[in-house]
Chain A
Amino acid sequence: MSKTKVIEIEPLTRVEGHGKVSIHLDDNNQVHDARLHIVEFRGFERFIRGRPYWEAPMIVQRLCGICPVSHNLAAAKAMDQIVGAPRLTPTAEKIRRLTHYGQIMQSHVLHFFHLCAPDLLFGFDADASMRNVFALINLKPDLAMQAVRMRKFGQEVIRATSGKKIHGACAIPGGVNKNLSIPERDALLKDMDQMKKWAQGALVIARDYTLENLSMIERFATFSSSYLALVREDGALDLYHGALRAMDGGGNLIFDQADYRNYGDFIMEEVKPWSYMKFPFIKMRGRIDGWYRVGPLARLNCSGYIDTPEAAKALVEFKSLTGGRPNHMTLAYHWARMVEVIHCVEKIGELLNDPDLQGEDLAVKGDRAEEGIGVIEAPRGTLIHHYRVDENDLITYCNLIVSTTNNNEAINRAITSVAKSHLSGAPRITDGMLNHIEVAVRAYDPCLSCATHALGQMPLIVEVFDTSGVLIESRTREK
């Protein structure tokens, strides 16, 4: 019987929140498996039971400090059904879209420039002292500055539509809390031209990096998979609302225009003993073959076109790389992300010029229902909120499938792929090798956050165990 040793990387650096990777080696130091372990907030689904339904869109923001807007919107979309509001007022829907585009833009920009750019600019094998944002600031201070200002702009969009960061909320059941005043609109409009220019520059960087390093990228965690995303009725990219579309690795539709309120007919969730995170799969393809990818790459693969001009052109160029077939390259997530930034900036510009944003009709109600399911495309992918409410208006059931959960199997496969290429047979594990693993994980922009932090936490710990569980090597890198 061959011996197996396990290398654990904990926590991952430059991903949102923290998790742990274990790499399983055999006697000959060959990788035969790799797993991502995540402490997820399963307790939340129980915590919210017994709370009044109207609190949900506010409370769920506490799930994650990284993307509170996404949870607010997904919960509110579910509660729209509870309060009998299948169609919002034009003002309400447009305000929600505005805040959503602001959220995705600022999230993508931060991820690309401050979390991933050090890897892309300095190389995956570069010394750790070079692979960080401070080296980026030294080398390209203008880019670092742009990233901060673009992020700030996105946050200002959110602030204008939601009020305060923690104690504000954009969406409520059946609508929104507030409209956008003329002064708020004008404050944002003055920066639009600059945002468009910088978004175009970011797209060029991501595209050129992909094309210039294509031979490496085609070999780095590239594997065929299915993809899932919301699309509009006509197949266009829609980050806020639509129906579910899933396609296989060849680009063939598995299902299309599926009403997300029936998500349980299409998606099932599996639990594995070594992870707190669920493993969703497409029901008709089964547990083994039904896994899929979500997020920017999945959305571009699934979308027929984009309805804003610059992003539309960018999508055509993106799709031309693979002849219109699905792009399976993990590192192409970066390019896809920047296409979405352009789209979001264009959408924000459109909306800010729409007088509906100053409308006074903010919320509607209709016939009360007992169940609601909300789905949006969050920055990291498809996000599902499902609630049931009793006759006393109290929540009795909650099920969440968060974006990173949808990508769970894909991230595990990416890690395994890279580990086999870069760690198998190596005499010792170097920082550069470990960073290759982290680069693969980071491409998915996973949110491993438990939204809790305290001073003095989170060192990087790497531990190697033999098959009997004896610790044979341990390294710690303080954050």
Chain B
Amino acid sequence: MSAARRILIIGYGNPGRGDDGLGPALAAMVEREGIDGVIVHEDYQLTVESAQDVAQSEMVIFADASMDEAGRFSIVPILPVPSPQFDSHSLSPGTVLYLALTLFGAKPEAYLVSIRGYEFDRFGESLSKKAEANLAAAAKRVFALLSESVSSL
């Protein structure tokens, strides 16, 4: 496995639906930095084939919008978990990890970045002001995490 395949960031959500685009927005910020060893994917949602990409990585960061009112963002380690229900529209990061484990025998270190959004019901390519601020705060922490992880590889 080459070093360039080691860290994968998957930002998912629909940028056409306001703050639902927070995940892809974070992915775009990381991509612009062009960090060696970091692969960036963006998608509308997590799907089964994401498991194959995850299985080829040593560390994975999932980034998504959140409606959780607890904070502006969170970064938590996550493990493979089979969801009781499964559909292609709302595959969870834990389910993707579970598929990577059961189908490909891979269990990368994984984190979920949840960024608080506020406006999900409008069509539009822009983020709300509050979501933009949350994105900036989350990105700072993600870059720190990436910096530690890249230097340790």
Partner of B87, one of A16, A155, A164: A16
**Hey, what's the 0/1 contact readout for B50-61 against A, CB within 8 Å counting as 1?**
011000000000
Nearest neighbor of A134 in chain B, beta-carbon distance: B82
B43 at the binding interface (Cβ < 8 Å)? yes
Give the chain A neighbours of B28 by CB distance below 8 A: 167
Q: In the bound complex, do residue A455 and residue B66 qualify as a contact, i.e. CB atoms below 8 Å apart?
A: yes
Q: Is the CB of B88 within 8 A of A16?
A: yes
| B98 smallest CB distance to A (angstroms) | 7
A165-B42, A167-B42 are known contacts. Are A62 and B17 too (CB-CB below 8 A)? yes
CB contact under 8 A between A479 and B88, given known A165-B44, A455-B66:
no
Among the listed B44, B68, B88, which residue makes an inter-chain contact with A110, where contact means beta carbons less than 8 Å apart?
B88
B120 touches A454 (CB 8 A): yes
The verdict on A152 contacting B49 (CB below 8 Å), with A15-B87, A451-B17, A479-B83 known, is yes
Q: By the criterion CB–CB under 8 Å, are A452 and B66 in contact? A: no
> Which B residues between 26 and 72 are near A, CB-CB below 8 angstroms?
28, 41-45, 47-49, 51-52, 64-68
Q: Does residue A457 face the partner (Cβ distance < 8 Å to B)?
A: yes
Q: Is B89 an interface residue (CB 8 A)?
A: yes
Give chain A interface residues in 422-479, CB to chain B under 8 Å.
449-458, 460, 477-479
CB contacts under 8 Å to B, within A227-279, are none
A445 to chain B, nearest CB (A): 10
For A110, list chain B residues within 8 Å (CB).
47-48, 88
* CB of B108 closer than 8 Å to a CB of A: no
Chain A contacts for B17, CB-based, 8 A: 62, 450-452
B99 touches A148 (CB 8 A): yes
Q: At the interface, yes or no: B145 with Cβ under 8 Å from chain A?
A: no
A145→B101 CA distance, assembly (Å): 12
In A129-178, the 8 Å CB interface with B consists of 129, 132-134, 137, 141, 144-145, 147-149, 151-152, 155, 164-167
Given A110-B47, A151-B49, A166-B15, A456 and B85 contact (CB-CB distance below 8 Å): no
Q: Across the interface, do B44 and A455 meet the contact criterion of CB distance under 8 Å?
A: no
Shortest Cβ gap from B12 to chain A (Å) = 8
CA distance A457 to B120 in the complex (A): 13
Are the CB atoms of A65 and B49 closer together than 8 Å?
Answer: no
Contact indicator B49/A456 (Cβ below 8 Å)? no
Are B14 and A65 in contact, with the CB atoms below 8 A?
yes
Q: Is the CB of A456 within 8 A of B68?
A: yes
Q: Tell me if A374 is interfacial: C-beta within 8 Å of chain B.
A: no
Given A148-B49, A449-B89, the answer on whether A65 and B67 have CB atoms closer than 8 Å is: no
Interface check B147, CB cutoff 8 A = no
Which A residues are in CB contact (< 8 Å) with B4? none
Known contacts A115-B87, A454-B66; is A164 also within 8 Å of B16 by CB? no
Asked if A43 lies at the interface with its beta carbon under 8 angstroms from chain B, I say yes
- Give the interface centre of B24, B42, B85, B114 by most chain A CB atoms within 10 Å: B85
Identify which of B20, B49, B102 contacts A452 (C-beta below 8 A). B20
Q: Is A386 an interface residue (CB 8 A)?
A: no
Contact of A479 among B16, B43, B52, B84 (CB under 8 A): B84
- Please, how many residues of chain A have a CB less than 8 angstroms from a CB on the other chain? 55
Contact with B along A28-63 (1 / 0, CB 8 A): 000000000000010110010000000000010111
Given contacts A132-B84, A134-B86, A453-B13, contact A148 B52 (CB under 8 A): yes
- If A114-B86, A478-B84 touch, does A134 touch B98 (CB 8 Å cutoff)? yes
Contact of B67 among A14, A47, A451, A457 (CB under 8 A): A457
Report the contact-size class of chain B (Cβ under 8 Å from the partner).
35 or more
Judge whether B88 and A66 touch: CB under 8 Å: yes
B42/A144 in contact, CB under 8 A:
no
Contact A147 B44 (CB under 8 A): no
Instruction: Answer yes or no: A17 CB below 8 A from chain B CBs.
Output: yes
Q: Does A70 sit within 8 A of B, measured CB to CB?
A: no
Say whether A13 contacts B66, CB under 8 Å: no
Query: Which chain A residues lie closer than 8 Å to B136 at the CB level?
Result: none
Q: Are A165 and B67 in contact (CB-based, < 8 A)? A: no
Q: Once bound together, how far apart are the Cα atoms of A452 and B20, in whole Å?
A: 6
Assess the A166–B85 pair: CB atoms within 8 A.
no
A14 near B52 with CB under 8 A, answer no
Mark contacts of A192-221 with chain B using CB atoms, 8 A cut-off: 1 yes-contact digit, 0 otherwise.
Answer: 000000000000000000000000000000
Q: Would you call A68 an interface residue if the criterion is a C-beta within 8 Å of the partner chain's C-beta atoms? A: yes
Chain A residues within an 8 Å CB radius of B87: 13-16, 115
A contact residues around B68 at 8 Å (CB)? 455-456
Determine the residue in chain B with the shortest Cβ distance to A459.
B85
Contact of B88 among A115, A134, A165, A457 (CB under 8 A): A115
Q: Other CB < 8 Å A-B pairs besides A16-B87, A151-B48, A457-B90, 15 of them? A: A13-B85, A14-B85, A14-B87, A18-B89, A62-B14, A62-B15, A62-B16, A66-B88, A137-B99, A151-B49, A165-B43, A452-B14, A453-B20, A457-B67, A479-B90
10 residue pairs bridging A and B, Cβ less than 8 Å apart: A14-B87, A65-B44, A115-B87, A132-B82, A166-B44, A450-B17, A452-B14, A452-B20, A456-B66, A479-B84
- List the 9 closest A-B pairs by CB distance, nearest first: A62-B16, A65-B44, A47-B123, A152-B49, A479-B85, A134-B82, A452-B17, A454-B67, A451-B14
